Amino acid sequence: MSIAARSAYGLSRHARPVAIGVAVCAAAAAIAGAVALTRGEARGQTTVLAVTTIVAGCTFVAGGIVAWLRRPANLTGPLMMVAGFLLFGTSMAQAQQSLPFTVGLVIGAVPAAVVAQLVLAFPDGRLHSRWERLVVGAAYVDVVVLQVAMLMFMGFEHINGCPCPDNLLLIRDDARIHSALMGSQRVLTVVVTAALAVLLARRWRAASAPLRRAIAPVLWTTAVTIVLLVAAELTTDAVPRGLAAASRIALATVPIAYLLGLFTARIARVSVSDLVVELGRLPGPGQLRIALARALRDPSLELAYWIPDLETYVGLDGQPVDVGAAPGRAVTVVEHGGRRVAALIHDPALGENPELLGAVGSAAGLALENERLQAELRAQLEELRDSRARIVEAGDIARRRLERNLHDGAQQRLVALSVALGLAERKLTTDAQQAAAMLQAARGELTVALEELREIARGLHPAILSRGLAVALEGVAERSPVPVQLHVDGGARPPPSVEAAAYYVVSEALTNVARYAHASAATVRVARDAGRLRVEVSDDGLGGATITKGSGLQGLRDRVEAIGGHLEVQSQHGRGTRVIAVLPLQHRETTAETELGDANRD
């Protein structure tokens, strides 16, 4: 088992220095924040709150670094780092200078919004539905826009614990406006929290039992944290200090839950173990796709099976599938025992989780190989049925043409001839001279009718084949308007069906040369090669011939494949055309064929 995309691991090596840099910055910020917070006790902060805030910041930055190293393309890591630094930044609200004080006030509530985004984007770091994006957007409006607006009208002279530095955002200290804004901020907070709760509840309901176990740590720690943060936010007037501290402690546990969720590969393990159990009792075709879609949590998953003979992917129904043509889809090739087996066509988001794709692909390798064999069989049956239908149709067309030629040609002439003879018979006694003239005309008619019958008979089966392939091909070459060089190996005669196929290949190919190729010369080679007869017709004409549906070449290929052979057309524009048929000489013949063949040689 191998998976094509492994770039994630390569990137992590280059990212290490960056991660170390981030960690050093975080440590510095944490120390600065801790110092600031312990000094800020005069403004209502407790040591407990200070310590828990810094601890939470540390776990976020550390968790973010780990997540980013393991999943560079996943936004979860960077988001956690941002949340960590924001937490450190909140300590600036304790500063004695105006600028850090103001910044600290602005970012004070932002970590809560980041946590909301994190949980909704778990586990791939992306927001998927419009509702998710709406809720996260509203959360940022709440903690940034409304916060800034409120600060513009809020002086800190009246707040307990101050004197404070100047609020740089202050336009006018107006208690009415700022309490109105604070009120609307609280309303929006409640609405966003409720919407978040609904979205998480829906996700929980939709999850299977094992998936619930896997996502439970993230969901519960986040839910508890947000409830505590919101509760602390809504009760600022009579801050129960324990509540704020508790919310910070809960916050500190969030990154740990994420790391558990993301990296213990628990989800993948759960999915894969479920898959293995399911693979053991797959009831029918199509079930594998459903099982894999469930394990990968991608309902849009499609499977395509590799058919080496046709050099194409086909669906379970044997019909060709164009892999990689659809935009917004990603393809992962699954191998089993070192051979390409199938392609998973999936949501690009799954690429974020190569371990899961790898584990699922590996677990399903054998089952995929089984279904691949089925698909291959179906594709071959499909081709066989098509070619059978074409052979029958070609036979019908040939018979219809034959009937028409007979009816309009020889038959008509013979009837006319019988009329002429009838008339001549009547004239015989009365006008012998006219009767003689009539008989002469009748003989002319008869000659033409015989000639027509001969042409038709040759179209039915080349009687000349009874004299051997070489002789028959000489006749074909002689009739060709384009000069033909003929090389036919001697030796024992091939089976009649092989001789007939070779004859028709040469005949049809030379007809095409005369009709379409604008060639000045053609070469026919018939040679024995390791139990096979190789027939090759080449010309120096225009090239560009293809085996299209309903063409003579398609009919030839059907005829050749019907006796276990293989027909190939090489025809580049401007480079001439080469038709190569390889026919097995050991073809086991049916009794009818043998009898017919013997009859031909009489």
Partner 1 sequence: MQTETEAARTRVVIADDSILLREGIAALLVDSGFEVVAQSGTADDLLLKVRSLRPDVAIVDIRMPPTHTDEGLRAAQVIRERYSDTSVLVLSQYVESGYALDLLADSAEGVGYLLKDRVSDVGEFAAAVQRVADGGTALDPAVVSRLVGSRRGRGPLDELSGREREVLELMAEGRSNAGISARLVITERAVEKHVTSIFQKLRLPAASDDHRRVLAVLTYLRAG
Binding mask of the shown chain, residues 440 to 459, with x at each position contacting partner 1 by CB under 8 A: -----x--------------
With binding defined as CB under 8 A, does residue 413 bind partner 1?
yes
With binding defined as CB under 8 A, does residue 197 bind partner 1?
no
Q: Which stretch binds partner 1 (CB under 8 A): 199-207, 233-241, 407-415, 520-528?
A: 407-415
- State the minimum distance, in angstroms, from the CB of residue 550 to partner 1: 22
276/428 with CB nearer partner 1 = 428
Distance from C-alpha of 48 to C-alpha of 508, rounded to nearest angstrom = 94
Among 420, 498, 502, 524, binds partner 1 (CB under 8 A): 420
Distance from C-alpha of 392 to C-alpha of 351, rounded to nearest angstrom = 49
Task: Read off the tokens for 397.
Answer: 């067309």
- State the minimum distance, in angstroms, from the CB of residue 450 to partner 1: 16
* The amino acid at 275: L
16/426 with CB nearer partner 1 = 426
381/415 with CB nearer partner 1 = 415
For 177-194, give the DSSP string: HHHHHHHHHHHHHHHHHH
411/551 with CB nearer partner 1 = 411
| Residue indicated by tokens 């994630």 | 8
545: left (phi over 0), alpha (psi -120 to 50) or beta: beta
Distance from C-alpha of 311 to C-alpha of 322, rounded to nearest angstrom = 12
Among 96, 412, 546, 594, binds partner 1 (CB under 8 A): 412
Q: Which stretch binds partner 1 (CB under 8 A): 157-165, 268-276, 411-419, 567-575?
A: 411-419
Among 7, 374, 418, 520, binds partner 1 (CB under 8 A): 418
For 474, list phi and psi in degrees, rounded to 5: -60, -40
97 three-state secondary structure: coil
- State the minimum distance, in angstroms, from the CB of residue 441 to partner 1: 10
With binding defined as CB under 8 A, does residue 399 bind partner 1?
no
26/417 with CB nearer partner 1 = 417
Q: Which stretch binds partner 1 (CB under 8 A): 332-340, 418-426, 552-560, 562-570?
A: 418-426
With binding defined as CB under 8 A, does residue 425 bind partner 1?
yes
188/421 with CB nearer partner 1 = 421
Tell me how crowded residue 52 is: count the other CB atoms within 10 A of its CB.
Answer: 22
With binding defined as CB under 8 A, does residue 370 bind partner 1?
no
Q: Pick from 473, 449, 266: which is nearest to 353 by CA? A: 266
With binding defined as CB under 8 A, does residue 422 bind partner 1?
yes
# residues near partner 1 by CB under 8 A: 17
Q: Which stretch binds partner 1 (CB under 8 A): 6-14, 62-70, 403-411, 521-529?
A: 403-411
Among 213, 339, 399, 407, binds partner 1 (CB under 8 A): 407
What's the burial of 422, exposed, middle or buried (CB within 10 Å: 0-12/13-18/19+)? exposed
| Residue indicated by tokens 């609020």 | 167
188/441 with CB nearer partner 1 = 441
Angle between helices 552-562 and 496-512 (to 10 degrees): 160
550 three-state secondary structure: coil
Task: Read off the tokens for 573.
Answer: 């524009």
- State the minimum distance, in angstroms, from the CB of residue 499 to partner 1: 35
Among 241, 385, 388, 426, binds partner 1 (CB under 8 A): 426
Among 25, 421, 521, 580, binds partner 1 (CB under 8 A): 421
Pairing mode of beta strands 484-488, 522-529: parallel
| Residue indicated by tokens 């060639």 | 519
With binding defined as CB under 8 A, does residue 401 bind partner 1?
no
Task: Read off the tokens for 382.
Answer: 């499909």
- State the minimum distance, in angstroms, from the CB of residue 395 to partner 1: 20
With binding defined as CB under 8 A, does residue 416 bind partner 1?
yes
Contacts of 226 (CB under 8 A, 6+ apart): 112, 115, 116, 119, 193, 196
CB 347 within 8 A of CB 298: yes
Distance from C-alpha of 554 to C-alpha of 548, rounded to nearest angstrom = 6
425/451 with CB nearer partner 1 = 425
Distance from C-alpha of 69 to C-alpha of 89, rounded to nearest angstrom = 24
Among 287, 411, 511, 551, binds partner 1 (CB under 8 A): 411
- H helix and E strand count, the chain: 19, 10
412/520 with CB nearer partner 1 = 412
374 three-state secondary structure: helix
Give the footprint of partner 1 on this chain (CB under 8 A).
404, 407-408, 411-413, 415-416, 418-423, 425-426, 445
